[in-house]
Amino acid sequence: MPEFRYAREELLKAAAERKGLTVSAYLRSIADAALASEGFPVDPQQYCLVIDGELIATSFKPTKDDRGGEWLPVENVDEPGPFNPATHWRLKPLPLRLDGDRVVRVYPTVPKCQEYA
């Protein structure tokens, strides 16, 4: 953990552990929640260029494509079910896939146990 003077350091560690996060990830989530509550966009949308059913490229800032492609938003999905950081591990995402008119990035989730640690 970075060195800083804050009287609630142990509380931050405990709260982060309860959510299954590092302290820095927990602090970012708190900051994101505060910004979102004030109406600021905090989650940048990733897009994927699709040409003739083929996934070409991804970008956070899609540009005009001369080849006639379409930029579709990438949707992140947890499988086999919803992710709970207290009881699940989120594994490395599978390759992007085209699912009808949407691009999906699947994050496999597994129960927390020694087998996946």
Domains of the chain: residue spans and CATH:
1-42 (1.10.1220), 44-117 (no CATH)
7, 8, 9, 24 from 3: Cα distances, Å: 12, 13, 10, 12
pLDDT value of position 54: 92
**pLDDT of res. 66:** 85
Tell me the mean pLDDT in the region 86-112: 89
pLDDT band, residue 84 (cuts 50/70/90): confident
Kindly report, residue by residue over 19-77, the tens digit of the pLDDT: 777 788 788 888 888 887 888 877 778 899 999 999 999 988 888 888 888 999 898 88
* Secondary structure class of 80 (helix, strand, coil): coil
The span from the CA of 86 to the CA of 19, in Å, is 6
Q: Give the pLDDT score at 105.
A: 92
pLDDT of residue 8: 82
What pLDDT does residue 115 have?
64
Single pTM value for the model: 0.58
